[in-house]
Structure 1
Amino acid sequence: MIQAGHLRRACGDLALTGRPVIVHASLRSFGLPLHGGADALLDALLARGRTVVVPAFTQPQFGVLPPATMRPARNGVDYTALPAGPAAQDGPVYDAGCGLINPSMGVLPATLIGRPGAVRGRHPLNSFAAIGPRAAELIAAQSPADVYGPIRELAGRDGAILLIGVGLDRMTALHLAEQRSGRRLFLRWARGAGGRVGMVEVGSCSRGFARLEPVLAPYARTTTVGASSWRAYPARQALDAAARAIAADQDITHCPDRGCLACRDSIAGGPVGPPLAGGAPDGGITRRPRPAP
């Protein structure tokens, strides 16, 4: 069985003390039962002053079909395959306190958003959530028109990217590297607080990110816990290296499916049209109250 001490030692091996860390984790990767489950892993990650950031996406729950007037070209969407007729006039509106999460995000993000003191962005489809000393300032950087603001802020604060038993295809930060390479992010649709549909930024296909392995390997610190391979990258250096590699060879991120529409449109530069501006649903943050002492 994996004990809390094993987790704490792994964090020490990776020199993560006092740093904000964006974490992508598979609990199944340990190969053995984890005593205390995701709560034990989160506690170990939070020790020694660390702030933990996770993706807390809700695209399937709160995404809506695009209105006919909001369909930019080269946007990773085959509009002809969408249902005919106007989009529904009402539907659920995302709230940062909703407690919902895409199940594919895994157990750790679901555990984090339920903790007192957790902070979650109001991006209706691709929110990030965080807990720890720097949580509020990191998440405050996110808006529907700046989806990866928390990652940019984390990198600027000497933060790290930690992969626990998962590959580069789960490294959300690489979408920011795509943007820095000159690509525009894709646009999707959600309802704002008043029910008005607007466009928001999201990432593209990530299945080809494993091709960046030779570029990022020199920056990785590694350790193992049970059967789980842990890799930590300094966020700023890793993002800079990935952005340079993508700018030099845009095809490097193409996934194995050579007909992938998302990869094709992203590599070509992303959506065509004016930059996303005030038409996006309102952004902001919410904080869960801490329990009374």
Structure 2
Amino acid sequence: MIFEEHLATALAGLHLTERPVMLHTSLRSFRTVIDGGADAILDALLNRGCTVMVPAFTEPQFAVAAPTDMRPARNGVDYAAPPVEDTLLEPSPYRVDCGLINPALGLLPAVLVGRPDAVRGRHPLNSFAAVGPEAAHIIDAQSPDDVYGPIRELADRDGVILLIGVGLNRMTALHLAEQWSGRRMFRRWAKDIDGAVRMVEVGSCSAGFPKLEPVLGSLDQNIMVGASRWRAFPARQTLAAATAAIAAQQDITRCPDTECMLCRDAVAGGPTTCHTRRPAFRT
């Protein structure tokens, strides 16, 4: 069993005290029970003065089909394909207090979102959520038209990206490096508070991100907690190194699926136009 002292020792070894941390976690990677579960990991970080941020995405709950007058070319979407069933449900507009989250993100993000002091971003499909002393300042940087603002804030505040038992394919921050390398963000669709459908920024395919290991592997500090490998990457340096690598070789992030439309269009630079006839998204 993993106890509080094991978590505290690991965090001390990674020098995370009073730093904001973007967390990606697989509880299964421990291969044993954690005393206190996901809350124990969050509390261990908060007890060291950290602010903890996680992805809190909601595409399955709030994505809608692309309107015919809002379909940018080279957008990682086959507009001729039948809509995914969930996009036909005409969902209500997203609210920061909806309490919903994509189940594929795992248990820990759902636990964080459920905390009464959690602060959640205004992006209807790719929000981030955080707890801790800098939560509001970091999350306030996000908007539907600036999906990765909180990651910029994390880097500006000398933050850390902590991978607990997961690989680089789970490092959401690398999507910001894609943007900084010159790629335009993909666009998807969600309802505004007035019920109108508008475009919002989203990321691309992350299955090829492990190909950045030769570039990023020397930047991390790592430690084992039970069977779980923890890797702590300094956000600012990681983004800078990844941005340079992608700018120099756009194909470096291409995933193994030769038919991946997301990778094809991202490597080509992303949407050729991001024009929308409607005003900015309001939440």
Q: TM-score, normalised by structure 1?
A: 0.93
Distance 1:88 1:103, change over 3 A: closer
RMSD of the alignment, in Å?
A: 1.6
User: 2:36 matched to which residue of 1?
Assistant: 36
Secondary structure of the corresponding residue to residue 215 of structure 1: helix
- 1:56-205 to 2 correspondences below 5 Å: 56-83=56-83, 90-205=90-205
Runs of 5+ unmatched residues, structure 2: none
Secondary structure of the corresponding residue to residue 101 of structure 1: coil
Q: Deviations over 1:141-174 (max 9, x none)?
A: 0000000000001100000000000000000000
User: 1:287 matched to which residue of 2?
Assistant: none
Q: Greater CA deviation, 109-118 or 230-239? A: 109-118
Instruction: Kindly provide the amino acid, as one letter, of the partner of residue 51 in structure 1.
Output: T
Q: Measure, in 2, the Cα distance between the counterparts of 1:245 and 1:280.
A: 33
Secondary structure of the corresponding residue to residue 33 of structure 1: coil
Q: Measure, in 2, the Cα distance between the counterparts of 1:260 and 1:88.
A: 24
Number of aligned residues: 281
User: 1:268 matched to which residue of 2?
Assistant: 268
Q: Measure, in 1, the Cα distance between the counterparts of 2:145 and 2:20.
A: 23
CA contact (8 A) 1:200 1:276 kept: no
Q: TM-score, normalised by structure 2?
A: 0.96
Q: Deviations over 1:24-45 (max 9, x none)?
A: 0000000111111011111012
| Structure 1 residue 274, shift from structure 2 partner | 4.1
User: 1:286 matched to which residue of 2?
Assistant: none
| Structure 1 residue 91, shift from structure 2 partner | 3.0
Secondary structure of the corresponding residue to residue 251 of structure 1: helix
Q: Does 1:10 align with 2:28?
A: no
Instruction: Kindly provide the amino acid, as one letter, of the partner of residue 8 in structure 1.
Output: A
CA contact (8 A) 2:118 2:130 kept: yes
Secondary structure of the corresponding residue to residue 80 of structure 2: helix
Distance 1:65 1:191, change over 3 A: same
User: 1:290 matched to which residue of 2?
Assistant: none
User: 1:55 matched to which residue of 2?
Assistant: 55
| Structure 1 residue 280, shift from structure 2 partner | 4.3
Runs of 5+ unmatched residues, structure 1: 284-293
| Structure 1 residue 82, shift from structure 2 partner | 2.9
Instruction: Kindly provide the amino acid, as one letter, of the partner of residue 169 in structure 1.
Output: N
Instruction: Kindly provide the amino acid, as one letter, of the partner of residue 18 in structure 1.
Output: E
User: 2:23 matched to which residue of 1?
Assistant: 23
CA contact (8 A) 2:64 2:90 kept: no
Q: Measure, in 2, the Cα distance between the counterparts of 1:67 and 1:2.
A: 49
